[in-house]
């Protein structure tokens, strides 16, 4: 009998990671990695983020599948948030050791879906409600009911913090949610499409996508970005701290990307969001200094590979600047990406084709 390959010997597999493999046609978003451009259904991200509200951007993305005028969509989202709040007792009863993210997944599993409203609306509206309720429960506070008259971003801040939100912060959160709405076939969107292709329901596809998003190589990075900024502490420490991390072969969170061979355009969209805030914090300046030091160190340490700033670096800085706890970074990413996942599942299901690739057997 032939020997099984030794552990680790498959890392040289040229198809590991599916890099460059095309697995779908999509009209939803185009990620141009060479030129650092992101287009959402015909519009560059710079025309949407900071200019459109989250609902306007979602309406734009969903246009081919869920056509509605903006007022109707706002009302449907508001009503769906109110309905989702009825599921919050399930979150309260969930085991206390669960993370905020896991509680959101529990809530989503338990969410009843009616046939009276498109499921993408019900699911996209429920996750912000579950996020805010889980956050408050984790802090020993009572969940706050949504206000269906508010926009998603304003209601989310109100449900989290309980007071009327600063317009500046609502605009920053809207900008963030629009920025991350959709991004080609990233790992979580691919997961959603694979699940959707089996004709599983949308809830299952979003739950699976949330699982894929949670890892540090995808949506789990911004919390560790802030940990890194805090650990460095002052600009003078940046070079040494980063040099030591790279010498230990660690990855710098918030840098590098599978597709972009230049700067992730979303990093600048979010950095512009910092400039739009009325007040700044010392951490913002520190982050900019750390970014400069990190880019110089990465250039030196990995001369053969372009490793530039990705979306997660300024996600951490912007969300922190508007007072969002780092435990909420990945949960918020899921809230912003959910309508994107839903759109991809609808697009995939339109093809009627099961995604089922092949593998090359190299075992004994
Ligand atoms: N810091 C240091 N080295 C890095 C980094 C980094 N951030 N990113 C990649 N590298 C190195 C790798 O160690 C590897 O070096 P080697 O060839 O000597 O082993 C080389 O660059 C290529 O890395 P891969 O993992 O093959 O590249 P891939 O395209 O798969 O990686 C990824 C993309 C996972 C995002 C990577 O850049 C990374 O781990 N970044 C840090 C985590 C992060 O910021 N995640 C958020 C990504 S954005 C998003 O998903 C929304």
- Tell me the per-residue pLDDT of 75-97, one tens digit each, with 9 for 90 and over: 999 999 999 999 999 999 987 89
pLDDT of residue 278: 84
Residue 207 contacts residue 105 (beta carbons within 8 Å): yes
Q: What is the pLDDT of residues 271-301, one digit of tens each?
A: 999 999 988 888 999 999 999 999 999 999 9
Q: How does 183-203 read in b/e, with b if 16+ C-beta sit within 10 Å?
A: bbbbbbbbbbbbbbbeeeebb
Catalytic residue check, 312 = yes
Residue with tokens 């508007």: 322
pLDDT of residue 17: 86
Catalytic residue check, 46 = no
Q: What is the pLDDT of residues 20-75, one digit of tens each?
A: 899 999 999 999 999 999 999 999 999 999 999 999 999 999 999 998 899 999 99
Q: What is the pLDDT of residues 222-266, one digit of tens each?
A: 899 999 999 999 999 999 999 999 999 999 999 999 999 999 999
Residue 30 contacts residue 36 (beta carbons within 8 Å): no
Taking the centre of ligand 1 as the mean of its atom positions, its distance from the CA of residue 171, in whole angstroms, is: 31
Give the three-class secondary structure for 128: helix
Give the Cβ contact number of residue 86 at 10 Å: 12
Instruction: Indicate if ligand 1 lies below 6 Å from the C-beta of 190.
Output: no
Instruction: Indicate if ligand 1 lies below 6 Å from the C-beta of 256.
Output: yes
Q: What is the pLDDT of residues 324-349, one digit of tens each?
A: 999 999 999 999 999 999 999 999 99
- The kind and range of the H/E element at 43 are strand 43-44
Please provide the size of the chain in residues.
364
Q: What is the pTM of this model?
A: 0.95
Q: Which atom of ligand 1 is nearest to the CA of 333?
A: 51
CATH topology of domain 46-215+338-351: Citrate Synthase; domain 1 (1.10.580)
Pull the structure tokens for residue 52.
């459109």
Q: What is the pLDDT of residues 151-198, one digit of tens each?
A: 999 999 999 999 877 999 999 999 999 999 999 999 999 999 999 999
ipTM given for this complex: 0.97
Residue 66, phi then psi, degrees to nearest 5: -125, 90
Catalytic residue among 257, 291, 344, 347: 257
Instruction: Indicate if ligand 1 lies below 6 Å from the C-beta of 252.
Output: yes
Task: Classify strands 43-44 and 37-40 as parallel, antiparallel or unpaired.
Answer: antiparallel
Average pLDDT, the chain: 94
Q: Which atom of ligand 1 is nearest to the CA of 255?
A: 7
pLDDT of residue 280: 84
Percent of the chain with pLDDT over 70: 96
Cα→Cα distances 16→9, 35, 354, Å: 12, 25, 21
Catalytic residue among 55, 83, 291, 312: 312
pLDDT of residue 136 exceeding 90: yes
Give the Cβ contact number of residue 278 at 10 Å: 8
pLDDT of residue 313 exceeding 90: yes
Residue 32, phi then psi, degrees to nearest 5: -95, 100
Question: What's the CATH number for 222-321?
Answer: 1.10.230.10
Taking the centre of ligand 1 as the mean of its atom positions, its distance from the CA of residue 251, in whole angstroms, is: 7
pLDDT of residue 1: 52
Question: Using 50, 70 and 90 to split pLDDT, how confident is the model at 15?
Answer: confident
**Residue range 307-320: mean pLDDT, rounded:** 96
Question: Using 50, 70 and 90 to split pLDDT, how confident is the model at 3?
Answer: low
Question: Using 50, 70 and 90 to split pLDDT, how confident is the model at 12?
Answer: low
Mutational pocket test of ligand 1: of 45, 179, 185, 251, the residue with most ligand atoms within 8 Å of the beta carbon: 251
Question: Using 50, 70 and 90 to split pLDDT, how confident is the model at 2?
Answer: low
Instruction: Indicate if ligand 1 lies below 6 Å from the C-beta of 218.
Output: yes
Question: Using 50, 70 and 90 to split pLDDT, how confident is the model at 362?
Answer: confident
CA distance 202 to 123: 8
pLDDT of residue 11: 64
Per-domain residue ranges for the chain?
46-215+338-351, 222-321
pLDDT of residue 10: 67
Instruction: Indicate if ligand 1 lies below 6 Å from the C-beta of 255.
Output: yes
């Amino acid at each position: 009998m032939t020997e099984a390959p030794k552990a680790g010997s498959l890392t040289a597999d040229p198809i590991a990671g599916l890099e460059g493999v095309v697995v779908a046609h999509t009209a939803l978003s185009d990620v141009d990695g060479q030129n650092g451009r992101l287009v959402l259904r015909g519009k560059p991200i710079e025309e949407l983020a900071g200019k459109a509200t989250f609902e306007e951007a979602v309406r734009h993305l969903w246009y081919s599948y869920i056509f509605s005028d903006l007022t109707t969509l706002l009302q449907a989202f508001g009503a769906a948030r109110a309905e989702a709040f009825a599921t919050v007792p399930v979150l309260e009863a969930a085991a206390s050791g669960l993370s905020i993210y896991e509680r959101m997944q529990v809530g989503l599993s338990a969410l009843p879906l009616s046939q009276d409203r498109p499921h993408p609306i019900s699911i996209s509206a429920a996750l912000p409600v579950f996020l805010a309720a889980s956050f408050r429960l984790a802090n020993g506070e009572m969940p706050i009911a949504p206000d269906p008259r508010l926009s998603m971003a304003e209601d989310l801040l109100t449900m989290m913090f309980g007071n009327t939100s600063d317009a500046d912060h609502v605009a920053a959160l809207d900008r963030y949610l629009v920025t991350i709405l959709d991004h080609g076939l990233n790992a979580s969107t691919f997961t959603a499409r694979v699940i959707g292709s089996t004709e599983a329901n949308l809830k299952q596809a979003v739950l699976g996508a949330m699982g894929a998003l949670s890892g540090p190589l995808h949506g789990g990075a911004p919390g560790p970005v802030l940990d890194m900024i805090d650990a460095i502490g002052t600009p003078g420490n940046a070079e040494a701290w980063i040099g030591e991390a790279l010498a230990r072969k660690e990855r710098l969170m918030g840098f590098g990307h599978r597709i972009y061979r230049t700067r992730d355009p979303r990093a600048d969209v979010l950095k512009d969001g910092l400039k739009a805030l009325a007040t700044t914090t010392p951490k913002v300046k520190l982050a900019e200094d750390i970014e400069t030091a990190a880019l110089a160190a990465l250039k030196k340490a990995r001369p053969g590979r372009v490793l530039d700033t990705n979306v997660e670096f300024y996600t951490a800085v912007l969300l922190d600047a508007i007072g969002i706890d780092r435990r909420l970074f990945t949960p918020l990413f899921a809230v912003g990406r959910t309508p994107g996942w839903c759109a991809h599942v609808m697009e995939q299901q339109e093809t009627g084709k099961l995604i089922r690739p092949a593998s090359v057997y190299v075992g004994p």
